[in-house]
């Protein structure tokens, strides 16, 4: 009763909470996983998560049909070619959420013109929105992207996040036989301006 998430005029999630005024959220889900990103209303951010299933040709072809010629030419080692379209889609979808336009504009305007590998992360740069960046990473059999302003430093522990999701998956799969203790991760991401 202290926290409400309501739909905005563009169906974006709006937070109503007197205890934590000035908070915005971005929400995404895919099959059995969901992602939520809470951040200061001084920022504009977005999150998207999608399953990476190389056997799902219909979904991959649907995503590929939305890619620009520049995006179709991108390659990133060691990312499998079948996962690249999903990475690009989640980056573009996250940007559309940060800008509060969703599917209301042609997706070619969100073109990714460069992807750089940085350890377990992939950083995406946008041709027309240079003031934003996306950080993308694998999570179980999914690709997750977070878009944030380029001048903002984003810190999070992907190993803790992955351990948390593996532990939750283990908990769900064993919940029919015996409970597995889980460790709560209170803070996975912190965001601050330079």
- Rounded to an integer, what distance in angstroms lies between the CA atom of residue 48 and that of residue 153? 19
Segment 55-77 mean pLDDT: 85
Nearest 5°: the CA angle 151, 103, 189 is: 35
Instruction: Dump pLDDT digits (tens) for 10-43.
Output: 888 888 888 878 889 999 988 778 888 888 889 9
| Least confident stretch, 26-35, 60-69, 107-116, 168-177 | 168-177
Q: H-helix or E-strand containing 84?
A: helix 84-98
Closest by CA to 152, choosing from 31, 37, 15, is 37
Q: Quick one: pLDDT at residue 144?
A: 93
Q: Contact at 8 Å (CB) between 50 and 89?
A: yes
**Domain-wise residue ranges, the chain:** 47-193
Instruction: Dump pLDDT digits (tens) for 118-135.
Output: 888 899 999 999 999 999
Radius of gyration of the chain (CA): 17
Q: Quick one: pLDDT at residue 166?
A: 60
Where do we find the tokens 């042609």?
106
- The answer, yes or no, to whether residue 174 has pLDDT greater than 80, is no
Segment 99-108 mean pLDDT: 87
Q: H-helix or E-strand containing 173?
A: helix 158-174
Q: Quick one: pLDDT at residue 165?
A: 65
Cα 134 to the chain's mean position, in Å? Answer: 8
Under the banding of pLDDT at 50, 70 and 90, the label for residue 66 is confident
Q: Alpha-carbon dihedral of residues 100, 101, 103, 107, nearest 10 degrees? A: -110
Q: Contact at 8 Å (CB) between 143 and 33?
A: no
Cα–Cα distances in angstroms (integers) from residue 142 to residues 23, 49, 87, 116, in the given order: 27, 7, 9, 19
Segment 61-85 mean pLDDT: 86
């Amino acid at each position: 009763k202290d926290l409400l998430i309501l739909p905005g005029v563009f169906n974006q999630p709006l937070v109503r909470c007197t205890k934590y005024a000035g908070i915005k959220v971005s929400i995404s889900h895919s099959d059995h996983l969901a992602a939520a990103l809470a951040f200061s209303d001084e920022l504009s951010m977005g999150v998207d998560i999608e399953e990476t299933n190389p056997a799902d040709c219909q979904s991959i072809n649907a995503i590929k049909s939305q890619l620009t010629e520049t995006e179709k030419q991108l390659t990133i080692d060691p990312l499998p070619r079948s996962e690249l379209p999903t990475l690009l889609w989640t980056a573009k979808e996250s940007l559309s959420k940060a800008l509060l336009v969703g599917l209301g504009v042609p997706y070619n305007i969100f073109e990714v013109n460069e992807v750089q590998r940085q350890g377990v992360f992939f950083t995406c740069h946008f041709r027309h929105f240079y003031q934003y960046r996306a950080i993308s990473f694998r999570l179980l059999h999914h690709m997750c992207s977070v878009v944030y302003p380029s001048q903002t430093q984003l810190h999070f522990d992907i190993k803790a996040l992955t351990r948390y999701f593996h532990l939750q998956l283990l908990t769900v799969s064993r919940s029919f036989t015996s409970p597995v203790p889980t460790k709560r991760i209170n803070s996975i991401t912190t965001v601050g301006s330079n």
